């Protein structure tokens, strides 16, 4: 089968099409024929540095496709089922490929309302937003939720999830993206290049920060007593918890985990029309390097997806 591999760390040009043996599903696993695979910032991080493990891995975690075969003991799927999910994360999954094995319970049925390209755009980003907003921050109706980089891959899905939870949603993004975000349900928008969110906004209950750096300490200053900051930026942001505690606030750094319960919630939102990914670009598998160039530019709106099977 075709897959994308690399033999060293570096820029997008290290990504190459390779031929490898098609895997076989082990016990409690399924073999999926991949129709589409999402591209995420963590893919670029692993390509360039090996991520936390510092090792070359086959890239890709998001997938949408069709079950080709099932391993021993699998009862939740059968060949022919359409599925999507985030297999194995944060361990390597290698979804930039024509076939992938996955623990069966890391996947859920693909909503009929979504194409494979749309479904492949959701798992990592939407599950990140769900776990951050719902499981870590516990967003409730009426709360004010500030989402940084609101037009990004995680951000634009977080806007929709927070809105579905009944929150008042505030997003930071360049003004050119404000109409797009209003269409997703954002209640307030601020252009971070023209205004200081610390002073321009009324206090908020929850902040979701995918930017990092100075945004963490600055975001703490926007929170009401009892408020929560969830950082997605890097493990270095863990120091924010120490800064938050004496202020009567809570701060947490999180890494998304494969989670079937959360994926079911995401599928239900998508089926109800409350969650739709914005697709910035769709490229064929062999153009994975081009997809990474686009992602590394940080100028995309929404998600980049690799189309693997017609």
* Residues 170 and 187 sit within 8 Å (Cβ to Cβ): yes
Give the separation between CA 239 and CA 245, rounded to whole angstroms: 11
Q: 3-state SS of the chain: helix, strand, coil percent to 5?
A: 35, 25, 40
**55: phi > 0 → left, psi -120 to 50 → alpha, else beta; which?**
beta
Residue range 125-253 forms a domain whose CATH class is: alpha beta
**For residues 219-234, average pLDDT:** 94
* 3-class secondary structure, 139: coil
**For residues 242-256, average pLDDT:** 94
Residue with tokens 């200081």: 196
Give the separation between CA 182 and CA 139, rounded to whole angstroms: 20
Residue with tokens 């007593």: 225
pLDDT over 80 at 235, yes or no: no
CA-wise closest residue to 3 among 306, 282, 279, 303: 306
- Residue 236's pLDDT is what? 66
Domain boundaries, the chain: 2-122+277-307, 125-253
**For residues 46-71, average pLDDT:** 95
Pairwise pLDDT comparison (24 vs 310), residue with the higher score: 24
- Residue 299's pLDDT is what? 79
- Residue 234's pLDDT is what? 73
Give the separation between CA 304 and CA 295, rounded to whole angstroms: 7
Give the separation between CA 68 and CA 133, rounded to whole angstroms: 34
Alpha helices in 24-107 (DSSP H): 41-49
The answer to whether domain 2-122+277-307 and domain 125-253 are alike in fold is: no
Q: Domain 2-122+277-307, what fold?
A: Quinone Oxidoreductase; Chain A, domain 1 (3.90.180)
Give the separation between CA 59 and CA 6, rounded to whole angstroms: 9
**For residues 160-174, average pLDDT:** 98
pLDDT over 80 at 46, yes or no: yes
Write the CA distances from 248 to 13, 115, 174, integer angstroms: 47, 44, 31
Give the separation between CA 190 and CA 163, rounded to whole angstroms: 17
What lies within 8 Å, CB to CB, of 84 at 6+ separation is: 62, 63, 64, 65, 107, 108, 110, 114, 116, 119, 120, 122, 123, 263, 267
CA-wise closest residue to 228 among 205, 202, 198: 205
* Residues 207 and 219 sit within 8 Å (Cβ to Cβ): yes
pLDDT tens sequence across 191-211: 999 999 999 999 999 999 999
**For residues 248-257, average pLDDT:** 94
pLDDT over 70 at 259, yes or no: yes
Give the separation between CA 211 and CA 228, rounded to whole angstroms: 16
- Residue 52's pLDDT is what? 80
Q: Within 10 Å of residue 75's Cβ, how many Cβ atoms?
A: 8
Percent of the chain's residues with pLDDT above 70: 99
pLDDT over 80 at 237, yes or no: no
Distance from chain centroid for Cα 112 = 21
- Residue 238's pLDDT is what? 73
**For residues 8-14, average pLDDT:** 97
pLDDT tens sequence across 92-146: 999 999 999 999 999 999 999 999 999 999 999 999 999 999 999 999 999 999 9
């Amino acid at each position: 089968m075709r897959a994308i591999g690399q033999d060293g760390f570096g820029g997008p040009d290290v990504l190459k099409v390779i031929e490898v043996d098609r895997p076989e599903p082990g016990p409690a696993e399924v073999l999926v024929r991949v129709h589409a695979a999402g591209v995420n910032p963590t893919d670029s991080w692993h390509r360039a540095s090996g991520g936390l493990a510092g090792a070359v891995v086959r890239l890709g975690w998001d997938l949408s496709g069709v079950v080709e075969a099932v391993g021993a003991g699998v009862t939740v799927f059968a060949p022919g089922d359409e599925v999507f999910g985030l297999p194995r994360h944060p361990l390597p999954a290698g979804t930039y490929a024509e076939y992938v094995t996955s623990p069966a319970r890391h996947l859920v049925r693909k909503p009929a309302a979504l194409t494979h390209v749309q479904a492949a755009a959701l798992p990592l980003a939407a599950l990140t937003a769900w776990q951050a907003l719902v499981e870590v921050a516990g967003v409730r109706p009426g709360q004010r939720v500030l989402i940084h980089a609101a037009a990004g891959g995680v951000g634009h899905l977080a806007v929709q999830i927070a809105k579905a939870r009944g929150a008042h949603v505030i997003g930071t993004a360049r003004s050119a993206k404000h109409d797009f975000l209003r269409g997703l349900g954002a209640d307030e928008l601020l252009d971070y290049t023209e205004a200081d969110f610390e002073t321009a906004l009324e206090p908020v209950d929850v902040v979701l920060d995918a930017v990092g750096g100075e945004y963490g300490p600055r975001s703490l200053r926007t929170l009401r007593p009892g408020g929560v900051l969830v950082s997605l930026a890097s493990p270095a942001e863990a120091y924010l918890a120490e800064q938050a505690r004496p202020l009567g606030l809570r701060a947490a750094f999180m890494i998304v985990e494969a989670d079937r319960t959360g994926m079911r919630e995401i599928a239900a939102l998508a089926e109800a029309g409350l969650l739709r990914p914005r697709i910035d670009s769709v490229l064929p598998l062999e153009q994975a390097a081009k997809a990474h160039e686009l992602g590394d530019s940080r100028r995309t709106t929404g998600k980049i997806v690799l189309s693997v099977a017609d």
